[in-house]
Amino acid sequence: MLLHTYRSFDMELPTVDLREAEFVILGLPYDGTTSYKPGARFGPALIRQATLNFESYILDYNVDIAELKIADAGDVALPVNVEDALRVAEETIRELREVNPNAIPIFLGGEHSMTYAPVKVLKPKSYVVFDAHLDLRDEYQGSKFNHACVARRISELGVKVAIFGVRSGTREELLYAEEKGIEWVHARDYSYEAFVDLVLAMPEPIYVSVDIDVFDASLVPETGTPEPGGLRFWDVVEALEWISERKEVIAFDIMEVSGDRLGNITALTAGKLLFHILGMLGEFR
Ligand SMILES: N=C(N)NCCCCNCCCN
Ligand SMILES: [Mn+2]
Ligand SMILES: [Mn+2]
């Protein structure tokens, strides 16, 4: 066990020791800066529990993810203050890299604010994010580390940012994106071709983040700030297939899952996506 972690739900998937893993799951169950719907602290547990519903054999890839070397490192015990939480998350991810520098991490959240921690530790050159929101605010509700600021904080690290599925932002965020050359695609304009065109030229390695609210609100009602008019499940899966086959992706996350009921629709969407990510990594990696 890593320092500062605990176990919530176990998945039905067979897992291996962290030292032998090719893929490692780590939960970041934080919801201290939530502005609308609460409960993201339960996200990682809800996602793991929802995967009980799914076959480990993934039809799309002829891969049984039960045969992959997956470790589940549990959830990080995060304090309520966002800067303290980021510090503990960073420490834990550094420790994880020391124990196993080669495994591809898949982080489960938890508020999007927490994505700053793995990006800081893993130092990707690009950040490709699926999100209904730009997350480019300089500060929100008194904090620079609010979930609504995470893409801005990441771009300030010198990481190239591209955002897909957007349908919410402020005029200031739009101007900031223009000024800094941050490219983004509106959910109405989203296509596989638009994704490939934009990501093809992005420098590697790449960190891929899925804010679950990128999906249409009908697929993800239990999330901090749901938005109608979002992407379809296969839009995101097909983009992830392309990027994991063609580009060097060093980590993934699935964030902003929340709720207080096992088996909620959002957790099922996230759990299915998690299994597809593992399946495609089993096939393409
Ligand atoms: N990144 C995010 N999830 N951003 C959404 C921030 C919340 C916008 N509330 C606007 C309320 C205006 N009355
Ligand atoms: Mn977000
Ligand atoms: Mn969002």
Task: Convert the pLDDT of each residue in 25-41 to its tens digit.
Answer: 999 999 999 999 999 99
Q: How many angstroms is it from 147 CA to the middle of ligand 2?
A: 6
Residue-number span of the structural domain to which 144 is assigned = 5-284
End-to-end CA distance of the chain: 26
- Sorted by sequence, the CB contacts under 8 Å of residue 93 that are 6+ apart come out as 26, 105, 117, 118, 121, 122
Structurally, the chain folds into a number of domains equal to 1
Identify which of 100, 140, 151, 141 has the alpha carbon closest to the alpha carbon of residue 253.
151
Cα 225 to ligand 1 centroid, rounded to whole Å? 7
Which of 34, 111, 167, 168 for a ligand 1 pocket mutation test, highest count of atoms within 8 Å of Cβ?
Answer: 168
Q: How far is the CA of 88 from the centre of ligand 3 (A)?
A: 23
Token pair of 151 as six digits = 């893409």
Distance of CA 122 to the CA centre of its chain: 14
CA of 224 to the centre of ligand 2 (A): 9
Q: Which ligand 1 atom sits nearest the alpha carbon of residue 224?
A: 3
Residues 162-207: tens digit of each pLDDT: 999 999 999 999 999 999 999 999 999 999 999 999 999 999 999 9
Which protein residue has the closest C-alpha to ligand 1 atom 6? 148
pLDDT for 121 equals 98
d(CA 191, CA 185): 9
What's the pLDDT at 70?
A: 98
More confident position, 284 or 275:
275
Complex confidence, ipTM: 0.92
In this structure, the residue with its CA closest to atom 2 of ligand 1 is 148
Q: What does the pLDDT average to over 9-38?
A: 97
Alpha-carbon gap, residue 165 to 189, rounded angstroms = 8
The pLDDT of residue 285 is above 90: no
**Pocket of ligand 1, beta carbon within 6 A:** 35, 133, 135, 147-148, 225
Instruction: Summarize pLDDT for 54-91 with one digit per residue, the tens.
Output: 999 999 999 999 999 999 999 999 999 999 999 999 99
- CATH no. for residue 123? 3.40.800.10
- Confidence label for 1 from pLDDT (cuts 50, 70 and 90): confident
